[in-house]
Structures are given as structure tokens and as C-alpha cells.
A and B are shown apart, each in its own frame.
Chain A
Amino acid sequence: MTHTEASLLGIAVTVVLDLWVLRTRLLTRKAFWVSYAIVLFFQTLTNEWLTSRGVFVYGEEAILGWRIGHAPVEDFLFGFSLVAQSMIWWVWWGRRGVQADPGPGPRPIVTRLATRRPR
């Protein structure tokens, strides 16, 4: 299997996981796509930092050779799966009741002092 094939398989797994296995259906939500767009912007910067300096070296046989900047397109597919699955599992564990409700929580001390009522 090449990096290309593995990355496409990764996306398929991500979609199946979200829509049919965990049924989080996050990929159907606006919040996901806006979040992903933001992450993608930063991923483009950080991956360029790493690939332009040769921190990652790719097997030429394993990739198509199509690049965005110095990063192979496969990296963006890999990144999509990693980012999406992180968000999907976050939502899934929340649905299962693991620290689902942020609640009021401990407020920052600044807010606490500012809103303290005199006795």
C-alpha cells in the first residue's frame, strides 16, 4: 500500500466511523467544517515548516508527487482523518456522559473578584 492509498483509506474509515459506527454525524455539522477550515489553515503553515526543512522525508514511490508548497497532498488527507477523528471521539465521549457538561466550573479568579457581591 502506498501513502496515497493509506490516506484515502483513512478518510473512508473516518467517514464510516462518524456516520455509521459511532453515529456522531459530526461531518454533517457546520461547526465541524468551520473548525476544520481553521485547523487546515494552521496545518498548512506548520506542515510547510516541517516539510520545507526536510524534517519529514517521503518515499517517492509512496506518494503521487503532487505537492502544496513542500507538503505532499497525502499529508492533507492524513491530517483530515487525524483532526476529524479527534473531534469525533471528543463528541462521542461527551455523548457517553464523560465530562459532557462543562458546567459553571471554577471561574477564573479575575472574574470571581470582579463579580463578588459585598455582604
Chain B
Amino acid sequence: MRSLTYAAMLVFVVVATLPLEVVLRTRVYARLRRLALVLLCVGVPFVLWDLAATRAGHWEFDLTQTLGIVPPGGLPIEEWMFFVVVPLASVMTLEAVRAVRGWRVGDEPGQSGRSGRSGEAP
């Protein structure tokens, strides 16, 4: 059980946010291409930060509380998945708030002017 400590947290986050896709129609899983681009843009700098921070001794991991899979770089597999799961949960939450409150987040059509779609936005 001890080896599942970190993995359990990741599963909790995914399971806790999953119903939003169905109940509030957040449509994040339905937009996988956009999600993948987010994971790339966020994952790369934060994994690099993580690699640098562990090398600098800012933090380390108790590998006995992980599954024990350590890809090259020294971060346990859970830490890699952290940078998938947390951005996913963040975006799900933003879309859920938008779905419930109807507040704009800035990507709505016509947000940057009617011509924004076809030409350059001012």
C-alpha cells in the first residue's frame, strides 16, 4: 500500500474532476488536441524546473512511496503524471466555473473584435 501513496493522490484528482465533463459538459476531454498543447506548453518548463530543483537539492522524493518506476532524469513516474493531472484538473475547473457562472475567460468568439477570426486582431 505504501508504494501507492503518490499514485493515490493522482487518481483522486482525476476521479474528482471526471464528473465535471459529464455533468457540467466542460468538454475538456472532448478537446484532446487543445489539451495536449496545454500539457506540452506547461509540462516542458515545469519538468525542467523540477529536474533543476531536484539537482539543486530543493526537494527529493521518497521512492518507497512511489511505484518505483523512474524514467531517465530521476523523477518518479508519478511526478511526470503530476504535470498531466494538475493542468488537466485546472482546465476542468476553469471550464466548470465558466459553465456554471457563464463568465468569460477570453477565448470566446468575437472577444477580440469581430474581425479577429478572419484577420489580425487589433
Contact = CB atoms under 8 A, between A and B. Distances in A.
Interface of A: 1-3, 6, 10, 24-26, 29-32, 34-35, 38-39, 42, 46, 49-50, 53-59, 61-63, 79, 82-83, 85-87, 89-95, 97-102, 105-106, 108
Interface in B14-63: 16, 22, 25, 27, 30-31, 33-35, 37-38, 41-42, 45-46, 49, 53, 56-62
B105 A98 contact: no
A58 B30 CA distance: 38
Interface SS of chain B: helix, strand, loop or mixed? helix
Nearest to B66: A55
Given A39-B89, A55-B65, A58-B58, A100 B109 contact: yes
- Pick the 4 closest A-B CB pairs, nearest first: A94-B107, A86-B87, A31-B103, A99-B31
B13 A46 contact: yes
B27 A95 contact: no
Interface residues of B, number: 53
A35 B20 CA distance: 13
A89 B58 contact: no
Given A31-B98, A31-B104, A50-B9, A39 B60 contact: no
B107 to A, nearest CB: 3
Contacts, number: 152
Nearest to A106: B30
A56 B105 contact: no
Contact of B106 (A3, A25, A58): A25
A6 B49 contact: yes
A98 B22 CA distance: 22
Contact of B9 (A6, A49, A89): A49
B106 A86 contact: no
B105 A26 contact: yes
A38 to B, nearest CB: 5
A34 B38 contact: no
B11 to A, nearest CB: 11
Contacts of A61: 57
